[in-house]
Amino acid sequence: MKRLIPLALLLAACAPAARPQPVQVWEGSARVLLTVQAYRLTFTVNPVSYALSGTLANLSSGDRFEGTGTLLPSGDGAELSVQVTPGTVPRLNAGILGFGIGGVSLKADAFLSGQVKGDLFDGSLRVNGIRYPLTLRRVQ
């Protein structure tokens, strides 16, 4: 048993160290319906699996959404695809005379996709089936 402890320590020393994933912050705007909305996308990417996780904040309304997806290398840039969900938000429960609705989210899911080239993201935010052009610039 005493011989196994040094061997285990030696093997643990050979294991690759976990590298911290850098946080990326992107800001920009999109015209949604009739108004221009400011957005901030903050995320980290796993360098091995290209899995992305982070948040999309609507700076104009103060809403914050959770996002998961990928940032895949593509030619001279990368392809970003993120499913955006409202997370834990209030839900609508209403009824009258025994008929009603329950558990309806007050915020909609969205899908963010597009191309990253250098410090510029050019893509779209799709909400309820409608695409809104979105441009973001890397700030961190």
What is the four-CA torsion angle of 110, 115, 120, 124, rounded to 10 degrees?
-30
User: What integer pLDDT is reported at residue 98 of this predicted model?
Assistant: 64
User: What integer pLDDT is reported at residue 10 of this predicted model?
Assistant: 54
96 within a domain of the structure (yes/no) = yes
Other residues' Cβ atoms within 10 Å of the Cβ of residue 43 = 20
User: What integer pLDDT is reported at residue 3 of this predicted model?
Assistant: 58
CA distance 29 to 59: 9
Q: Are 134 and 124 in contact (CB under 8 A)?
A: yes
Could you give the number of structural domains in the chain? 1
8 within a domain of the structure (yes/no) = no
43 within a domain of the structure (yes/no) = yes
Which one-letter amino acid corresponds to residue 83? Q
User: What integer pLDDT is reported at residue 93 of this predicted model?
Assistant: 57
12 within a domain of the structure (yes/no) = no
7 within a domain of the structure (yes/no) = no
Q: Look up the pTM and report it.
A: 0.74
134 within a domain of the structure (yes/no) = yes
Going from the first residue of the chain to its last (140 residues), give the mean pLDDT of each consecutive group of 10, the final group possibly shorter: 54 57 91 89 94 94 92 93 78 62 64 95 92 94
User: What integer pLDDT is reported at residue 42 of this predicted model?
Assistant: 96
* Pairing label, strands 51-58, 130-138: unpaired
10 within a domain of the structure (yes/no) = no
38 within a domain of the structure (yes/no) = yes
Residues in Cβ contact with 86 at an 8 Å cutoff, skipping those fewer than 6 apart: 63, 65, 66, 105, 106, 107, 108, 109
CATH number of the CATH domain containing 107: 2.40.128.30
CA distance 69 to 36: 25
Domain residue limits at 57:
22-138
User: What integer pLDDT is reported at residue 31 of this predicted model?
Assistant: 87
CA distance 69 to 43: 10
Q: Are 114 and 124 in contact (CB under 8 A)?
A: yes
